[in-house]
Structure 1
């Protein structure tokens, strides 16, 4: 009988689906925090684009790590895991800052341009973060 492997595969697919949904929902919430701070600091208070995005990224990312560790990946606190996640976040910070600033400078303009730049940058970082966290950080570390 081959019901056990099919059942195990189905459970694995269900777990993956649940993780993706939670990761996206948490990411959406933290994206609102990140973009709100980025836009509020940059457009509202006149803070430079790089610094506004950096503050938004740090606050949004710290919140995302805490929520994803607890709810998406259901992992116990770990200094090794925290260090690995922050190393990953440093890489994705560089990637998304480059995309964000590149789009803003190639296509300067109003708040809509900031939103487009943010979505492109954050979308790229989200995919990188989910794959590395799921495959490496919360599985192997």
Structure 2
């Protein structure tokens, strides 16, 4: 698959992940009155699960990880943790510097997600889904 197509599909999956991430964090903070920092941990795990599913089915469908699904998911979450550190760091930095975002944490989540997407694509493609599938 061409790199540009993979980038496009990764971006589509990323938008889906952002909807899951931002939607869950906003729901937990705005309606359930959760701490915005703890809410983001749960929203990240749910979003990472969605993006793993999307990317293995669509973005990297022509590639393989040579792992069982559960091991692949664990590796995915581990790799996405690099991007998550960047993502969460930006999220916290924005919340600390712009207190109004405590009412709208989805905005801070979106900013963190956008920056981390570059790291996430590189690690997903270059580490986990690096082998191309061959037809037998």
Task: Work out which structure has the larger RCO, using CA pairs closer than 8 Å and 6 or more positions apart in sequence.
Answer: 2
Q: State how far apart, in whole Å, the 2-side matches of 1:29 and 1:86 are.
A: 16
Instruction: Structure 1: give runs of 5+ residues left out of the alignment.
Output: 1-11
Per the alignment, residue 107 of structure 2 pairs with 116
Aligned length: 128
Q: Alpha-carbon deviation of 1:95? A: 2.2
Larger-gyration structure (1/2): 1
User: What stretches of structure 1 move > 4 A for 4+ residues in a row?
Assistant: 110-113
Q: What TM-score do the two structures reach when normalised by structure 2?
A: 0.82
Aligned pairs for 1:25-104 (under 5 A) are: 25-74=12-61, 75-76=63-64, 78-79=67-68, 81-104=72-95
Is the CA contact (8 Å cut-off) linking 1:34 and 1:60 kept in structure 2? yes
Q: Which moved more, 1:101-110 or 1:33-42?
A: 101-110
Q: Which has the higher helix share?
A: 1
Q: State how far apart, in whole Å, the 1-side matches of 2:33 and 2:104 are.
A: 16
Q: Alpha-carbon deviation of 1:63? A: 0.8
Q: What TM-score do the two structures reach when normalised by structure 1?
A: 0.79
Q: State how far apart, in whole Å, the 1-side matches of 2:58 and 2:80 are.
A: 19
Q: Give the alignment's Cα RMSD to 1 decimal.
A: 2.3
Q: State how far apart, in whole Å, the 2-side matches of 1:28 and 1:108 are.
A: 25
Post-superposition Cα deviations, 1:64-84, rounded to whole Å, max 9, x if no partner, equal 001101111014562454443
